[in-house]
Amino acid sequence: MTVEASTPAGERMTLNMGPHHPATHGVLRIVVESDGEVVARCTPDHGYLHRSIEKIGECVEWPMFVPYTDRIDYVCAMNANLAYCVAVERLLASDPATTVVVPRRAECIRVLVAELNRISSHLIAVGAMAMDVGAYTPFLHGIAQREAVNDIFEKLCGQRLTYNYVTIGGVAFDLHDGAVAEIAAFLDQFEREMQRFNRLVTTNTIFRDRCAGLAVVDAAQAIAWGLVGPNLRGSGVDFDLRRDESYGIYGELDVRVPKGEAFAGRHGRQGDAYDRYVVRLLEIQESVRLCRAVLQLLPPAADKPADPLGGHQAEVSKILRKVPKGAVHVRTEAPRGEMGYWIVSDGGKVPFRVRCRTGSFTAAGMFQHVMRGIFLADVVAVIGSFDVVVPEIDR
């Protein structure tokens, strides 16, 4: 549904959305040149939340950077922790003397918390998208379920949002007593809740028709613009780093990758806003399945060498005073797509360079392309469908 701009450039109106706007997911600013109700040009303006996290990475010691990764993407802090820790571990593995073996139980817990966090992150994404198109209630349903995940994480590590839980070489704490039963119970009730959510929003005709055929990105475009994660899969590209470039114990799990198939029906096209939305919901289902699978794999806590606590951590912090020289780039699949770290070490206890590549950045770059010719009222729906989180763009 695109309309060509007809009036000459002088008659266009420039509309400023943000940096404070209730639907721009933080402090994103978009300058929209509109021709009547149609967007003629859209320019994102970034940097309102540039917190110089990458520079901080060059100032603090290796393990001290983990809390800052929380703040790169606070909606899925566990995944952000995991990405950095996997990258540092890969760098340490370049020298046999400094290789850190992550205990198997810790590996399982990592996947468990990453998938739980993916669920809670996607809940915000789909809820916020529904809110952006004018339905406030679904967001509250999403928040209510997110609280349940927060409760689990709070028992696990004491924090609700920024966890600092995944550490280099393992995880900070073992699962608390009764955690397995608690998580299993959550997954059961969550699945029932999601069916209700789908009846309320996903199959809602108004919502579906609003998003159908909106901001279509075909597979070739998605690859050319560097889209990642659910946005890329929404365009029908079958690519998931958990399966295709697996890290941790993802290789042992059978990760099924959903992709966009013009779910909106007659008016829908592959890679439209509705596809991106549905792919997120399917990924929530997939994460529930993966959580159950990991709970099966979880070795018993009595297995002391696999205990993520204890002497292992002290040994790792000794190794981290002298990280071998070299550079490594590791990409992981975070809820907003590829989260990659390029880390350079000059052999000291402080990284020489920490570069973070995040999914929201490329998605925000895509705005100027997909927003051309859509209606003004759809701008927020498109932002919501790409699920950008501003600190991921600005860092």
Partner 1 sequence: MTRREGPGDAFDDRIHLTAVDEFLAWGKEHSLFYLLFATACCGIELMQAGGPRYDVDRLGMIPRATPRQADLMIVAGTITHKMASRVRTLWEQMGEPRWVVSMGSCANSGGPFSKWSYSVLNGIDKYVPVDVYVPGCPPRPEALIDGVMALRERVRRYRTLGERSTEPHVVAGHEAPFGARCQLPPPDAPAGDGGRA
For partner 1, the binding residues (CB under 8 A) are: 19-20, 22, 26-27, 47-53, 55-56, 59-60, 67-68, 70-71, 74-75, 124, 140, 143-144, 146-147, 150, 160-162, 390-391
Rounded to an integer, what distance in angstroms lies between the CA atom of residue 123 and that of residue 115? 12
**Helix 379-386 and helix 104-132, axial crossing angle in degrees, nearest 10:** 170
Minimum gap (Å) between residue 48 Cβ and partner 1: 5
| Euclidean distance between the first and the last CA atom of the chain, given in angstroms as a whole number | 34
Instruction: Tell me which amino acid residue 300 is.
Output: P
Q: Rounded distance, CA 280 to CA 278, Å?
A: 5
Whole-angstrom distance, CA of residue 135 vs CA of residue 138: 7
- The least distance separating partner 1 from the CB of residue 19, rounded to whole angstroms, comes to 6
Q: What are phi and psi of 167, to 5 degrees?
A: -115, 165
As measured in angstroms, the least distance from the Cβ of 186 to partner 1 is 15
Provide, rounded to whole angstroms, the least separation between the CB of residue 142 and partner 1. 9
> Which is closer to partner 1, CB of 120 or CB of 345?
120
Beta bridge mates, 343 = 328, 354
Tell me the closest approach of the beta carbon of residue 26 to partner 1, in angstroms: 6
Long-range contacts of 92-96 (CB under 8 A, 24+ apart): 92/168, 92/319, 92/323, 92/324, 94/324, 94/326, 94/328, 95/324
Nearest to 111 by CA among 292, 272, 256, 259: 292
Shortest distance (Å) from residue 76 CB to partner 1: 11
How crowded is residue 254: how many other Cβ atoms within 10 Å of its Cβ? Answer: 9
Residue 379 CB, nearest distance to partner 1 (Å)? 15
Nearest to 9 by CA among 51, 31, 41: 41
Q: Which residue has the tokens 């468990």?
A: 112
- In the bound state with partner 1, the residue whose beta carbon lies nearer, of 104 and 349, is 349
